[in-house]
Copies of this chain bind each other. A is one copy, B any other.
Amino acid sequence: MLETDLPTAAPRKTYHHGDLRQTLIAAAEAELIEKGLEGFSLRGCAKRAGVSHAAPAHHFKDADALLSALAAEGFDRLNASMAEAMDAVDGDMMEKFVASGVGYVDFACANPALFHLMFGSRRPDHESPPLAEAGGRAFAVLTGNVATMTGRDYATDPAAGEDVIAAWAMVHGLSELLIGGKLHLPEDMPRPAFKALISAIIRRSGPKI
């Protein structure tokens, strides 16, 4: 194992850390990436942050609360990934819709452990306001896109439901299968080919307009 740039203990001068809360969230992500959610340990996070094993308790009620905060941050980054992908495209609305889906899948592939925490775990408290709101914003991107394309509003028009569910299920299923290693794509598949494949598949799920 060579040099890693993941956060690690850096002996500090002051008794107080200064920004332990944020440091712990970063440490939790590093812990998640290295050990996976199954091997995640709160004491490991504390060690990475260079504090004693009980220090996190002053910032997070328990280990799950720390994971909740990390998951909320994850949803914000997922939103950013989708927004960035949409902005990078200037075509019609359908193209932007597909691009946002690619952004969703890209985020999952780039952050498998985080994605798994966000969607595949009951450890974070998904009802906690910060997490629920961040998740709601991601959902809003999707419903907004569908509304723009079809003119149907998810909130008021039940007919929009099928479009929204289909689109979300498709990008989510792709993400889960890819990061779960269930799909064995060619190892050396170039980025453009990968993008084209994902885009074509996402297009199938899109609303018929």
Residues of A that sit less than 8 Å from B by CB: 36, 38, 116, 119-123, 126, 135, 161-162, 165-166, 168-174, 176-177, 180-183, 197, 200-201, 204-205
B173/A38 in contact, CB under 8 A: no
B181/A126 in contact, CB under 8 A: yes
Q: How far apart are the CA atoms of A103 and B204 in the complex, in Å?
A: 21
Interface residue SS majority, chain A = helix
Count of this chain's copies in the oligomeric assembly: 2
B201/A119 in contact, CB under 8 A: no
Query: Which of B119, B123, B170 has a CB less than 8 Å from the CB of A180?
Result: B119
B173/A119 in contact, CB under 8 A: no
A183/B205 in contact, CB under 8 A: no
Considering only CB atoms, which chain B residue lies closest to A158 in the complex? B186
Q: How far apart are the CA atoms of A201 and B177 in the complex, in Å?
A: 18
Considering only CB atoms, which chain B residue lies closest to A171 in the complex? B173
A165/B183 in contact, CB under 8 A: yes
Query: Which of B38, B116, B166 has a CB less than 8 Å from the CB of A170?
Result: B166
A162/B119 in contact, CB under 8 A: no
A181 neighbours in B (Cβ, 8 Å): 126
A173 neighbours in B (Cβ, 8 Å): 168-174, 176
A171 neighbours in B (Cβ, 8 Å): 173
Considering only CB atoms, which chain B residue lies closest to A172 in the complex? B173
Known: A126-B181, A170-B166, A173-B168. A121 touches B201 (CB 8 A): no
